[in-house]
Amino acid sequence: MQALVYTANEQMTFREEPDAQVLGSGEALVEIEAVGICGSDMHAYLGHDPRRVPPLILGHEAAGKVLDGELSGKRVVINPLITCGHCNDCLDGRQNLCTKRDLIGMYRPGAFAKRVAIPERNLIEIPEGMDPVLAALTEPAATAIHAVNLSERSLARPISEAKALVIGGGSVGLFAALTLHHRGICDLVLADTNPLRRSSAQKTGVATVINPIDQTAPDSTFHLVVDAVGGKASRQAAVAAVVPGGVVTHIGLMDNDGGVDVRRLTLQEITFVGTYTYTPVDLRVTLEQLHAGALGPLDWIDERPLAEGGAAFEELHAGRCGAPKVILRP
């Protein structure tokens, strides 16, 4: 089958690969119709993720058509997180914490390909008539919705009353902003250093968009700050910007070095929430919300053939791509 393969640092090769193979009973083959490029795919491409070793087919934000098994013929979104199903976390609805979790496009082949193998229980049916390109947004949107869900638990007052800051206008940051808008937040600021991304965020109309290099978000102002970058500078800004008793939610994984003023967290009683991916229920709810239009028209997607995926990686790395999400179509 044709696939876009991560072959070496900063090298994506579109080439013929052995066909996808199911790894056991209960797995199905899915023909990929649309698959997004994630920030974590970019990390891998740049050689920053020791868990993703080339040669590897990346890609885990996928929608497609089931080729065999019980759901044969159905159009589905893929839950790329494969968990054991038996541990306390899996049974308690927190499957994302399963210590045996696996992910397609990491230790097993991903969805930048004609076909992918995946357990059938990881398939979620797409509502009748929904565009697979929109359906492929389910995974990044669910990451944002899950983060907002966790944030809400730590806020003292209803989330609709909060002033909120989102740092980072990639797809997860933008979906966080769209989710906060959907939950009634009126006073919303989104910060990104990339002018193309700022322009995309601006068009959604849900947030005041700033360049944090020119214009610092005011200190001690926001009840909720979502850091969808996760670097030292963004964490520093996040911890400074939150009000006493507020919440900083940390989704990004750019680096692991500093930026957390623990004295401020303690004396100002701030809750710092680490958040990772989504649960199966988050994915189902997100798919419904995307279909219902709860997160806006989603007209900021950049759609390209899978064969041109290598160029998309180059553009994203160079900051020349304004779209918060590039979707590839095999």
Q: Rule CB under 8 A: which residues touch a copy of itself?
A: 89, 92, 94, 96-97, 99, 150, 153-154, 156-157, 230, 235, 244-245, 250-253, 256, 258-276
d(CA 42, CA 56): 13
By C-beta, is 229 or 326 nearer to a copy of itself?
229
Closest CB to a copy of itself among 60 and 235?
235
Q: Within 10 Å of residue 319's Cβ, how many Cβ atoms?
A: 12
Judged by beta carbon, residue 60 or residue 115, the one nearer a copy of itself is: 60
- In whole angstroms, the minimum distance from the beta carbon of 89 to a copy of itself comes to 7
Of residues 125, 313, 322, 296, the one with CA closest to residue 204:
296
Comparing CB distances to a copy of itself, the nearer of 95 and 289 is 95
Chain CA centroid to CA 130, Å:
20
272 contacts 260 by C-beta, under 8 angstroms: yes
Which contacts (CB < 8 Å, 24+ apart) does range 310-319 have? 310/4, 310/11, 310/12, 310/13, 310/14, 312/37, 313/10, 313/12, 313/37, 313/41, 313/42, 313/45, 316/37, 316/42, 317/10, 317/42, 317/45, 317/46, 319/194, 319/196
222 backbone dihedrals φ, ψ, rounded to 5°: -105, 130
CB of 152 to a copy of itself, least distance (A): 11
- With respect to a copy of itself, which residue has the nearer C-beta, 179 or 275? 275
We find the least distance from the C-beta atom of residue 26 to a copy of itself, in angstroms, to be 25
Residue 161 CB, nearest distance to a copy of itself (Å)?
A: 10
Q: How far is CA 179 from CA 14, 120, 196, 313, in A?
A: 35, 29, 21, 27
**26 vs 274, beta carbon nearer a copy of itself:** 274
Q: Does residue 33 contact residue 63 with C-beta atoms inside 8 Å?
A: yes
Which of helix, strand or coil describes residue 283?
helix
- When the beta carbons of 14 and 276 are compared against a copy of itself, the nearer one is 276
CB of 232 to a copy of itself, least distance (A): 9
State the minimum distance, in angstroms, from the CB of residue 203 to a copy of itself: 29
Is the preceding omega at residue 195 within 30 degrees of 0, hence cis? Answer: no
Query: Least CB distance from residue 191 to a copy of itself, whole Å?
Result: 19
